[in-house]
Structure 1
């Protein structure tokens, strides 16, 4: 019993005590073990306090659990002699316990190495998790290896050049012998939207028109309801709609009764026939960065064939067909059609695996990231091996004693390897945690034009990659220090009287060689990151031809139907007038498709060209008179569009500078005509070029038609420029638009800079990952140099003391060590730059406006690595210069 007034004895931690009780349950010695451990716990608590005692108790329970687990596993596998001998031969578990005790004595050292290894394993696992859905895992369709992409043989920068007419699809279905099914979707679905009204506030939806057999060819089964019927897929068929799982959940609260009900889209009733499964995300596969809400039937008919190239085609190969045989089949089919119908245009087909279409454009970037991750794990291995090798003299006495007592060289090596693998395994756990956090962040990233990002996750195969990375790292970082530790120098260590030993010249040279390797590896990685950074800067510095800052955009989809161009023009003119009167609004403009997003192309001729001359492909824009000012596109020549340009006046257009130079070389285009089919349009002005497709592509030929004279759009994009806060302007504009049409969605507003961000998002995504790897590389280089020099200074204390005793100054000691650091860093830089300049030429196609030998990148990289290296070496050098020579010599 405790004396009166004494505090009650502390209790062991409950979870650990219960685990111990389970471990010794049924063991005759169990009560004794429980009692002895409790008594030891009380004694530790009295000496060191309750907190330290509880941690001590937990460690003892874990150690006992490991012993019991090893014994149980050994007896279980004893019947399989080879496996048991390999995994549980005598000494392995003892080596593990020795390693645990060592890490317990040096927790800071062990934690540092675990974190460093965790960074490498985490980087490898995270990059694999990003690569897997794009390059490794099958697409989320039935037998995806048989799905192919069939596109027109044109420039991929123009959507009209790579899409097909619906008549091509009908011919493929009827006459091709290579496909089990051929289907398609309306590629220009972004040109219009669907206004959902009723049962809540109006909402703008993005809908894709698909052939009625689209899901069937892909092998996708609706989660609820059914697929479209052929009747619904006919021209003017019954209005039917399928909901994506996201819309079904968010808007309709996952109510299964929605199937069969009618919803109002664009003022018209549509029957909900089905709900797509959550595994099928149209956006992530076919149009990354554009969230799709609904699927609607698209007619494969004569009416849609007259629209021209509008269809993206997907085919499913027969079991006995290949991509090559399908290509030959379509080539023969199209050749026969061209011979039979000489006036038929748009006859071309380029067949490729659907996987290539989805991820082909991103493969170089993904391989670059994989190479960066491999570089980081290599840098981790070199760094950790360097640290372990540098610290090996501290264990020389222990190893010498073990050898003197009969331990073999193999047992010493095994001990070292077991400890390094234990560290790497713990680092693997940290790496999985890092990779999980990174993968979740990537999966939640929106507005990024990279396919299947939402599928990124750390799953089973990623865990295997993490485990293998950890084990390989453990062996790689441990083998060299292990061999050095058992190099046969035990007798010299014992004769030194227990003072330990220091590195010989060979080992010191090896350490410095590893430092050089670290700098070289980091140099390669930083060179790639620096070039990508410079390339990204070049992309952002491209003159887009318009000013995105200060502008907001809406997509306008009026709920009512207009009877004529004049009636619709009057509505949009009133929209422009009322919004222009709002406080703080500088200008208002309307266009059918804003830059850096949607695109289509038409064919025109100049008035001096003959009908037999090849036409020029142009990007058509349908705009109002305020659009140019709202976007701040300079007027180069002539006049702007005007509201007085109506269907009762002569048709007029604006050309951009590229179109003016191409159609009317060496002369003014103002006053001349361009021919759109048989109709002539008078050029009244020339405006500056706008990068319509993207900042990395030329502007192309652009023609601006007035919305008051041409009715060829489903919805219009509204641009409002203001010097006021975006939220304030958005509220005022939305209220005004609702007053003009209460059924029109008005709350989805997009700042124009966000459109620029989306188009450069793949570059930004890769740059962020490379930047993170670059920071890790710099940290590892700094740790490696600091660790090696610190241990070198510790070992050379007597040498430095003697030098200072015979006259060397502190400054000379500092200078010599810093100079040695500079020599090592320069050697690594030379090797790294030589390797990096060769390697970066393989990714030259990914760079924009920057050569692999960009001087600014090379100078910045050299300065950065030298600065980090010298800073890392300065701290040990300063410590060495403060050596008390008298005290050291006396010792």
Structure 2
């Protein structure tokens, strides 16, 4: 019986919606926008955090970290595992079937058929792929004998690399190539689409490239790998964490110089390890924005349903008088709401499918793509979410109007003079819904504008030099061709001579700064000042640079001198500080001759006392993102000096470097226009020194710096879109309610005008009604937004660049914008009210 009546209600509902095309089209469009937005965003959250990995052993995969429990921030834990720590824990632990160490996102220089190329690769221990449950499609996996210091170099390559660079030939197995300057053999090809941990194209045994080194070695390349593991069946993450925290405490006691504060383990599902807290917070915030949009859409449709219910009062009264129960009337109207929501969901899924396709392409094709395992699509969990959102939308938008309409008096509705005027309760509800729309819109708009201002600030950073006039490139000197620090120094010295002798360049220099964007930071102490604990020591930026660096940038030496070619730590440890450093630590006094030293390993590892020989103008040393642990102060040391640890008698082992040149050109625009040609020229100069050394990340400093903003721009665009849709939906909702209210009060306005009220009085009445709703909604919305900003200030601040979550200009802009939108949405119905003809309004039906 219930099923039969449901299909009957369905047929009636379809006829009603076909008859009311305008309502149906508008309601479906509004709900489609809301459902499409929330579906798209949920697919992002699902693909990033919820779905996890598709590996066979995904549910038992664990990330292993050893952390300092006193040092945490929104970006994650302050963690540390040396290779020797990993080996010690692996031998003693009982919670995992297997453990593996890895270094991801690494540079790998490959020469095949005489052509050098740089690839993104990973160095992994022998059990890495067995833990994941993944095998090569052709060839073999790594064996324990391959992961030993001095072992013959081998590699596994990705399916994409195999197809692109080796033509998909099965003869690739056993193929000889050169990797990092040493002969190597390809032993296998991984499955299509596999690029784990991030976007790697080939994999190399870890210890064959980076043997374990002493914990405090200043030249310990690859000495702190990431660690993943496979839980034994029946062992929980909490049990593993308890065991590894005990092991961490043992290591902290045995090696206090390096491990003292790292005495706690964090064992969690691998997907959580790969998703930092700030990313989680951002994604949940964006999903919350989309839920807000869906809520506004549902409120709009609810208001439309109230209007329909008023116009259908006689129909409902007739059905009631013919025997329809109140439950049946509610079911009928809810069925219509479900039909509207279902149509909205169908269109919304189409919008979401397009949006997720766009997001996939945009986030995977940039300079810094997101990990390959993160894919946004409309899968089963997303579809379940869509169905849930659809049912919720149907209930939220349809139940209250249906319930209120079903309780109307049939006698009153059937009176010939009845004009369908709404009850006081319905009036209060519809106006309250408008207030809610304005409240939610103000919250979304403030968030959207803060994000937009943040990205604009990132694009307008003052770097302290003309970053469009500098060409930069990254290079890596691997052990095969450059086994010693001295060999690397000889290469760099010769390279600088070649570049400076080239008449196309005004200057050339070296820096350790990655893509001219960031270098590093650490704690220091100023000579003569006492520090009770490590946290009291100030954090500051550092950079290793060659002589000529400031001249190439055209940064000004304010006081003292530049570095000289013979400046070394063996001769005298020195440093140049920026103006911000000098002002912060020495005020108006001269910084020349003052001393400071670096402090590492939680106050256990001290660098030599460095004498300040120069002060340079402020060149931004932070990247285009927030780092709450450090300000804009910074210092520079000679390129072959060690930043942390004792002074070395010889040059520090610089494996990676960024080379910068200032091409001779009329202006920066000319350099950026000729960037591709200049990059070829720079590669040619490098090949004069080493024909097998590839350059990568070649481009102007501006292009390299802006490459870090690609995903941020997408995020800012999405927040802006959410805010714009919220304003549009709210304005439509406000206009609809005000228009409906005016229509219902036409008789009242006619009477007032017949009794002498002028058009200005009528206009003021309608505008006052809209103004009260705006004032309540806007006031409550901004107050709620400010409260959230205060309570979650630290977390929100990490998502915003150089802008406060309580930025007064943003709040003022939102208030003015919503006021203007509300005024326009109210003015049109108000003007229609003033044009009422009293005789027409008073004419009896």
Partner residue in 1 for 2:653: 712
Q: Distance in 2 between matches of 1:95 and 1:137?
A: 38
In structure 1, list runs of 5 or more residues that go unmatched. 1-84, 285-290
Choose from 828, 836, 839 the match for 1:875.
828
1:240 positional shift: 1.3
Secondary structure of the corresponding residue to residue 314 of structure 1: strand
Q: Residues 534, 598 of structure 1: CA spacing in aligned structure 2 closer, same or farther, 3 A cutoff?
A: closer
| 1:377-396 superposed Cα distances (whole Å, 9 cap, x missing partner) | 22221111011102323222
Task: Name the Cα RMSD after superposition.
Answer: 3.9
Secondary structure of the corresponding residue to residue 231 of structure 1: helix
Deviates more, 1:446-455 or 1:877-886: 446-455
Q: Distance in 2 between matches of 1:200 and 1:496?
A: 95
Structure whose residues are more often strand by fraction? 2
* 2:85–2:251 CA contact under 8 A, matched in 1: no
Q: Distance in 1 between matches of 2:379 and 2:453?
A: 35
Query: Is residue 484 from structure 1 mapped to residue 404 from structure 2 by the alignment?
Result: yes
Q: Distance in 2 between matches of 1:281 and 1:487?
A: 61
Please list, as runs of the form range in 1=range in 2, the aligned pairs for 1:386-401 lying within 5 A after superposition.
386-401=303-318
Q: Distance in 2 between matches of 1:663 and 1:436?
A: 55
* 2:439–2:777 CA contact under 8 A, matched in 1: yes
1:261 positional shift: 1.5
Partner residue in 2 for 1:807: 756
Q: Distance in 2 between matches of 1:240 and 1:442?
A: 36
* 1:164–1:346 CA contact under 8 A, matched in 2: no
Q: Residues 256, 806 of structure 1: CA spacing in aligned structure 2 closer, same or farther, 3 A cutoff?
A: farther
Q: Residues 719, 489 of structure 1: CA spacing in aligned structure 2 closer, same or farther, 3 A cutoff?
A: farther
**Larger Rg over CA atoms:** 1
Q: Distance in 2 between matches of 1:473 and 1:123?
A: 13
Partner residue in 1 for 2:683: 737
Q: Distance in 2 between matches of 1:335 and 1:825?
A: 59
Q: Distance in 1 between matches of 2:586 and 2:98?
A: 47
* 1:531–1:852 CA contact under 8 A, matched in 2: yes
* 2:524–2:596 CA contact under 8 A, matched in 1: no
Secondary structure of the corresponding residue to residue 637 of structure 1: strand
Partner residue in 1 for 2:557: 635
| 1:390-409 superposed Cα distances (whole Å, 9 cap, x missing partner) | 23232223333333444333
Partner residue in 2 for 1:529: 448
1:545 positional shift: 5.3
Partner residue in 2 for 1:624: 546
Partner residue in 2 for 1:147: 62
Choose from 611, 614, 628 the match for 1:685.
614
Choose from 789, 810, 835 the match for 1:840.
789
Partner residue in 2 for 1:865: 818
Q: Residues 623, 208 of structure 1: CA spacing in aligned structure 2 closer, same or farther, 3 A cutoff?
A: farther
Partner residue in 1 for 2:601: none
1:504 positional shift: 3.1
Q: Distance in 1 between matches of 2:150 and 2:239?
A: 36
Give TM-score scaled by structure 2 length: 0.83
Q: Residues 601, 243 of structure 1: CA spacing in aligned structure 2 closer, same or farther, 3 A cutoff?
A: farther
* 2:467–2:701 CA contact under 8 A, matched in 1: yes
Q: Distance in 2 between matches of 1:866 and 1:160?
A: 44
Choose from 486, 496, 514 the match for 1:573.
496
Q: Distance in 2 between matches of 1:533 and 1:313?
A: 37
Deviates more, 1:785-794 or 1:483-492: 483-492
* 2:434–2:733 CA contact under 8 A, matched in 1: yes
1:872 positional shift: 0.7
Please list, as runs of the form range in 1=range in 2, the aligned pairs for 1:297-316 lying within 5 A after superposition.
297-299=205-207, 301-303=211-213, 306=217, 307-308=219-220, 309-316=223-230
1:683 positional shift: 4.7
Query: Is residue 125 from structure 1 mapped to residue 39 from structure 2 by the alignment?
Result: yes
| 1:506-558 superposed Cα distances (whole Å, 9 cap, x missing partner) | 32232222212221222232233344445555666665555544444322357
Deviates more, 1:162-171 or 1:240-249: 240-249
Secondary structure of the corresponding residue to residue 626 of structure 2: coil
Q: Distance in 2 between matches of 1:339 and 1:475?
A: 60
Q: Residues 481, 324 of structure 1: CA spacing in aligned structure 2 closer, same or farther, 3 A cutoff?
A: closer
1:762 positional shift: 6.3
Partner residue in 1 for 2:158: 244
* 1:159–1:600 CA contact under 8 A, matched in 2: no
Q: Distance in 2 between matches of 1:648 and 1:513?
A: 75
Choose from 89, 95, 104 the match for 1:178.
95
Query: Is residue 425 from structure 1 mapped to residue 347 from structure 2 by the alignment?
Result: no
Partner residue in 1 for 2:739: 790
1:122 positional shift: 1.4
* 1:545–1:689 CA contact under 8 A, matched in 2: yes
Partner residue in 2 for 1:234: 148
Partner residue in 1 for 2:295: 378
1:632 positional shift: 5.0
